[in-house]
Structure 1
Amino acid sequence: MSKYVVNNTSIDTIMGSIKSGEIAIPEIQRPFVWDSSKVRDLMDSLYQDYPIGYIITWRNPDTKLKDGTTSQGKKIIIDGQQRITAMTAALLGQEVVGSDYKKRRIKIAFNPKEEKFEVYNVAIDKNQEWVSDISDFFKNGFDMFGFVQQYCAANDIGDQSKIGQIINRLTNIRYSNIGIIELSHELDIETVTEIFIRINSQGVVLSQADFAMSKIAVNEKYSGVLIRKTIDYFCHLAKNPADFSAIQMNDVEFVNTNYFDKIKWIKDHHESLYVPDYSDLLRVAFTSKFLRGKLSNLVSLLSGRDFETRDYKEDIAENSYRTLEEGVLSFVNETNFKRYLMIVKSAGIISKSLIRSQNALNFGYVLYLMLRDKKVDQAIISKTVRKWLVLSMLTGRYSGSPESMFEFDVRRFFQADNVEQYVKNVEDGELSEAFWNNILVTRLNTSVASSPYFHLFLISQIKNGDKGFLSKEVEIKHLIEERGDIHHIFPKKYLQRNGMTNRGQYNQIANYVYTQQEINISIRDQSPKEYMQKMIEQCKSKKIKLGEIDDLNQLEENLRENCIPLEIYEMEFNQYEEFLNLRRKQMAQKIKEFYFSL
């Protein structure tokens, strides 16, 4: 079986196929991302009769209808949308929708004397040698003879035939040949997905989520277009709420639907902890409802694939779109979204800087939505999601490609009669005493400040309401929210002065604490013994010179909260490694106590 066929056709024919709906390319499939100069260059290539590449399409698999007949699928643009959009913008004068969802015209000007194209600007508009907008040449009723006469008179040109030939050549752009590669409708979804990703990977890394979104976007029968817009607009407004009015003006039809009513709240939700993009939303909606992890399976299901018979059936496609819609609407539901964030914050995760794994956040939301659908008690949901989120961070459960692990976990949670017991079983297997006493301690031996284990230590401090190092009132939470200083307990300059020049040594995360800037400045490059002795004197004399602590019991409590061994009172340079070893063990113990308190 040939995987594809190649044909040549004209640009005019392509435009007609899009207009008739034979080729599906909705405006929101992908916003137009070319800059105007690329549109100009494309017009010049057409004028020069240079090849402009192939348009690649795939016809959806034919699906079996309930009455036994077969429905032929539409063609989907796999590659070439930007070029087609550029041609409709420049030649037909259509507006394009940019990445900010604002409509704009792209005018390409033409100078017949020099046979040169340029992006429209004010100077060109004032120069009578230029035609400001080439789309004028392609309008019905364009009078080429009258234009040539008028242009030649305005520019003192005697040879009207030459200008006539140039304008004729320009208007014949619409008949330029363009190649179409049509992928066979008999190709399996995984192969088409791989082709889509490979041919679109130049410049922008695309994924199965991109192909799934393209698949959704071309479906009108089961609200695919509306589902796609719901996903796109929700994610866009979560990042760029200022574009709300542009979307309102640009897409009045969608704005008047219930879908828009369900997502417009996000424009007023100013929270950066969890800002999903379309692939996050799609993955969560899909996994929570279908109990699957591979997005290629979503494309198969939306095409109507029966995984047992390998046929494509219309009722499967219909049910799949309905189920996906339910998942998307559950994700964007204001109550669900805010309750999930409340659970995340209740675990001590108050800032995006504390959790770099978007996959962990995504699965946490999958778990929340799935348990909610199972009618699990809300208190159990909150506890389970909290613990699983932290467990995922501890074990790196969803690092790398998460699809198989997403599917494994969601199915077992779904099948579990007692979800708390399931979490306990995983704990017993992965969070043994050896993990807490050896593995975690070893993982804390790093100089990478973005380490998830250092973040987990900070999260445990936030959850416990711990104070900053040598702070009396200011909590770690406040310091992180206000971007306070990370301080070296053994000051960096002090270690460097004593011959330690290796960044990996003096920047160990076990040497880090959060503290107030004024405390950090006061300590400067003193040894721990030196500044801690001053703290003892301060507690005895009650004369404040460093921070605000003036009580020995408060001081020791502060050291305990920050997992700093009491040996710090006498420690100098030669005891640095001993200090790191002692503190790593205390940090690991604190994280352990935090986890089991959730």
Structure 2
Amino acid sequence: MDIQKYSVNQHLIETLLAWVKSGEIAIPEIQRPFVWDASKVRDLMDSLYQGYPIGYIITWLNPNVRLKDGTTATGKKVLIDGQQRVTALTAAILGQYVVNKDYKRVRIKIAFNPIAEKFDVQTPVIVKDKTWIPDISEILDGKSNSFSYINTYLATNPEIDQEHAVKSISKLFDLTKKQVGLIDLAADLDIETVTEIFIRINSQGVVLSQADFVMSKIAANEEYGGQELRKAIDYFSHLAVAPEFFQFIADNDKDFAKTDFFHKMTWLKNENEDLYDPKYTDVLRVAFSTQFNRGKLSDLVSLLSGRNFETRTFEAEIAESSFQKLSDGIHQFINETNFKRFLMIIKSAGFIHNKMIRSQNAINFAYIVYLRLRAKGENQANIESYVRRWFVFSVLTGRYSGSPESMFDFDVRQMDSRPFAEYLQEKEEAELSEAFWNASLVQSLNSSVSSSPYFHAYLASQVKANDKGFLSKEITIGDLITYRGDIHHIFPRNYLKKNGLPRGKYNQIANYVYMQQEVNIQIGDKAPEVYFCEMLEQCNGQELKYGAIDSVSELHRNLKSNCIPESVFTMNIENYDEFLLERRKLMAEKMKLYYFSL
């Protein structure tokens, strides 16, 4: 017989809030900043007052953990869904502060008018109006006596309909007696099952990632510094994108500002590099895989809960050591030296702009490779070469595009079991064979998608070679990418359109080059045979019409570095397909030479 995966019960609002106050329900302080505006809190209070349902709250029981002295600690309920509603209740009814989307601690005060039976957000005008109860938390905190308060209110407002006021104030006092549905998910459920239940119950079909569950587990743990660890992950990923947020933390979270974590991420306040802006999921994944030799975040949830995989019990020692190892991993991730040296290595492979990096998982695992090799004391020159090659290998093979967690898990275990150089060579021999370079990659370049990872790897090969832009004498591909240069067509787009070619045909990777805007304007919609004839005249002393190249040898060097076949001088619409195939082969050959130079 199937075991019930969860229980559904109705509880009084006051019971739910008592659990929150006692810590039985753990609300991660910044699991998600409170993003509701005050009007939504007002509407929630009105729904409760009117007797409308406010949806289910979903919690997941932490497992009972065996302590060092042999006793068992009962697990808390971790809030999985309903944080905004529960936080709204604690703000309006208990008068607690909330952390808003700017990470500031603020109070949301909800007022109530017993005459109109209307809720509103407190304003200075409402405070001055004696018919309003300016802050409902002042009478719903459990300390006020309804009889006394009603008498005081009626004495202050003798002209109103007293019977109506008594009824509405009494109804307000009964607000915390209203019921809310609570779904308790069983402690022994795995993440996949919890996710499935969550999606089926949640009417909006919101998908919680495994990283969300990990963050909930971390933040709910007070004993091993979970709140601080959670903030370190969240704040770092926020600062990486918005350095100006640094002052927010310093001003509004003074306790965290005193921590070693905050000190270690101070360097981000003046950092505008955006090549790698990791989200909290990325920080977690890298820190976890680096420290635990595992790739599946569901394992981290179990480890943070204290799971002993052999005995299938939960032990405090395992939870404690897991929190410590994860903390060490976060420290390694956010370390300024590690982070900047890693980015220098990625840039040295020619990936100099964030638009060239389409796979966050590829760069995540490259950082894992860097951190693990550094921890093992590998020679720095070897580290740089291995990281460059593994990153580009991952990009070219789409290694982490399918099931990244499974692949992370496989790769990190392989790295742990033998020398990395041996594993890298094995993968290169298996997946980067001659057939890959001569056939598979050539076919992959048969695409119209300019964001293709293959095209970006090709551009990286040009950046690393310090190649000049198409028909440019001094401006490099790197300059054009860095300063937002444009991709243009060797066979001009309008020329191909006039000859009846559809969009997917003229927008081909093999027809793309980085070219200066002014050169592209001069080319217009001329056939290659036309503007290349004029280029030859330019190289033989005629007027400089297309850029500054003024010698035939320099022109040929430029064509070679941009993988343009020599036959382009006489090409027109009849030769377009031939041109595309020939250029794809040249691009693949360049990428091969580039890869093995890394």
State the TM-score bracket (shorter-chain normalisation).
Answer: over 0.9
Residue pairs, 1:395-434, within 5 angstroms: 395-417=397-419, 419-434=420-435
Question: How far apart are 1:189 and its partner, in Å?
Answer: 5.2
Residue pairs, 1:196-211, within 5 angstroms: 196=198, 199=201, 202=204, 204-211=206-213
Once the two structures are superposed, residues 148-176 of structure 1 have per-residue CA deviations (whole angstroms, 9 ceiling, x without a partner) of 225534xx42x212112111211221222
Distance in 1, matches of 2:14 and 2:444, equals 62
Structure 1 residue 486 corresponds to structure 2 residue 491:
no
Once the two structures are superposed, residues 519-550 of structure 1 have per-residue CA deviations (whole angstroms, 9 ceiling, x without a partner) of 01111111111111111111111531221111
Indicate the larger mover: 216-225 or 128-137: 128-137
Distance in 2, matches of 1:73 and 1:80, equals 19
Letter in 2 for 1:496: K
Question: Which of residues 144, 150, 173 is equivalent to 2:149?
Answer: 144
Residue pairs, 1:49-128, within 5 angstroms: 49-121=51-123
Distance in 2, matches of 1:506 and 1:6, equals 59
2:499 maps to 498
Letter in 2 for 1:514: Y
Distance in 2, matches of 1:586 and 1:11, equals 69
Question: How far apart are 1:194 and its partner, in Å?
Answer: 4.3
Question: How far apart are 1:244 and its partner, in Å?
Answer: 1.8
Question: How far apart are 1:188 and its partner, in Å?
Answer: 4.4
Aligned to 1:329, what secondary structure does the other structure show?
helix
Residue pairs, 1:320-469, within 5 angstroms: 320-417=322-419, 419-469=420-470
Does the C-alpha gap of structure 1 residues 549 and 125 become closer, same or farther in structure 2, counting only changes over 3 Å?
Answer: farther
1:8 maps to 10
1:580 maps to 580
Distance in 2, matches of 1:161 and 1:434, equals 88
Structure 1 residue 512 corresponds to structure 2 residue 512:
yes
TM-score, normalization by structure 1: 0.95
Residue pairs, 1:539-578, within 5 angstroms: 539-578=539-578
Once the two structures are superposed, residues 456-510 of structure 1 have per-residue CA deviations (whole angstroms, 9 ceiling, x without a partner) of 111100010000010000000110111112111110111112222x101111110
1:30 maps to 32
Distance in 1, matches of 2:202 and 2:327, equals 27
Distance in 1, matches of 2:54 and 2:184, equals 17
Once the two structures are superposed, residues 70-98 of structure 1 have per-residue CA deviations (whole angstroms, 9 ceiling, x without a partner) of 22222211222211100111223322112
Distance in 2, matches of 1:521 and 1:85, equals 58
Letter in 1 for 2:413: R
Letter in 1 for 2:84: Q
Aligned to 1:179, what secondary structure does the other structure show?
strand
Distance in 2, matches of 1:189 and 1:543, equals 69
Question: How far apart are 1:101 and its partner, in Å?
Answer: 0.9
User: RMSD over aligned Cα, in angstroms?
Assistant: 1.9
1:161 maps to 163
Indicate the larger mover: 507-516 or 94-103: 94-103
Indicate the larger mover: 112-121 or 299-308: 112-121
Does the C-alpha gap of structure 1 residues 497 and 4 become closer, same or farther in structure 2, counting only changes over 3 Å?
Answer: closer
Distance in 2, matches of 1:438 and 1:189, equals 41
Number of aligned residue pairs: 593
Aligned to 1:241, what secondary structure does the other structure show?
coil
TM-score, normalization by structure 2: 0.95
Once the two structures are superposed, residues 410-453 of structure 1 have per-residue CA deviations (whole angstroms, 9 ceiling, x without a partner) of 11122223x22321221111011111111111111111111111
Distance in 2, matches of 1:214 and 1:264, equals 25
Once the two structures are superposed, residues 165-212 of structure 1 have per-residue CA deviations (whole angstroms, 9 ceiling, x without a partner) of 111211221222223222333444553454356556836432011001
Letter in 2 for 1:168: S
Letter in 1 for 2:496: L
Does the C-alpha gap of structure 1 residues 588 and 556 become closer, same or farther in structure 2, counting only changes over 3 Å?
Answer: same
Aligned to 1:479, what secondary structure does the other structure show?
helix
Question: Which of residues 264, 283, 286 is equivalent to 1:284?
Answer: 286
Aligned to 2:183, what secondary structure does the other structure show?
strand
Once the two structures are superposed, residues 535-575 of structure 1 have per-residue CA deviations (whole angstroms, 9 ceiling, x without a partner) of 11111115312211111111110001100011111111111
Q: Is the 8 A contact 2:448 2:508 kept in 1?
A: yes
Q: Is the 8 A contact 2:307 2:314 kept in 1?
A: yes
Q: Is the 8 A contact 1:95 1:103 kept in 2?
A: yes
Does the C-alpha gap of structure 1 residues 151 and 470 become closer, same or farther in structure 2, counting only changes over 3 Å?
Answer: farther
2:595 maps to 595
Does the C-alpha gap of structure 1 residues 375 and 534 become closer, same or farther in structure 2, counting only changes over 3 Å?
Answer: same
Distance in 2, matches of 1:317 and 1:595, equals 43
Q: Is the 8 A contact 1:101 1:247 kept in 2?
A: yes
Question: How far apart are 1:376 and its partner, in Å?
Answer: 1.2
Q: Is the 8 A contact 1:370 1:414 kept in 2?
A: no
Aligned to 2:53, what secondary structure does the other structure show?
coil
Distance in 1, matches of 2:6 and 2:156, equals 47
Q: Is the 8 A contact 1:371 1:414 kept in 2?
A: no
Structure 2: runs of 5+ lacking an equivalent? none
Letter in 1 for 2:209: S
Letter in 1 for 2:325: T
Distance in 2, matches of 1:442 and 1:24, equals 53
Distance in 2, matches of 1:241 and 1:198, equals 38
Distance in 1, matches of 2:125 and 2:569, equals 74
1:521 maps to 521
Once the two structures are superposed, residues 349-381 of structure 1 have per-residue CA deviations (whole angstroms, 9 ceiling, x without a partner) of 001111110000100011111111211111111
Q: Is the 8 A contact 1:196 1:211 kept in 2?
A: no
Q: Is the 8 A contact 1:440 1:588 kept in 2?
A: yes
Does the C-alpha gap of structure 1 residues 204 and 240 become closer, same or farther in structure 2, counting only changes over 3 Å?
Answer: farther
Distance in 2, matches of 1:93 and 1:68, equals 40
Does the C-alpha gap of structure 1 residues 3 and 41 become closer, same or farther in structure 2, counting only changes over 3 Å?
Answer: same
Does the C-alpha gap of structure 1 residues 236 and 551 become closer, same or farther in structure 2, counting only changes over 3 Å?
Answer: same
1:231 maps to 233
Aligned to 1:597, what secondary structure does the other structure show?
coil
Q: Is the 8 A contact 1:25 1:77 kept in 2?
A: yes
Question: How far apart are 1:3 and its partner, in Å?
Answer: 2.4
Structure 1: runs of 5+ lacking an equivalent? none
Letter in 1 for 2:455: F
Aligned to 1:408, what secondary structure does the other structure show?
helix
Question: Which of residues 233, 248, 251 is equivalent to 2:250?
Answer: 248
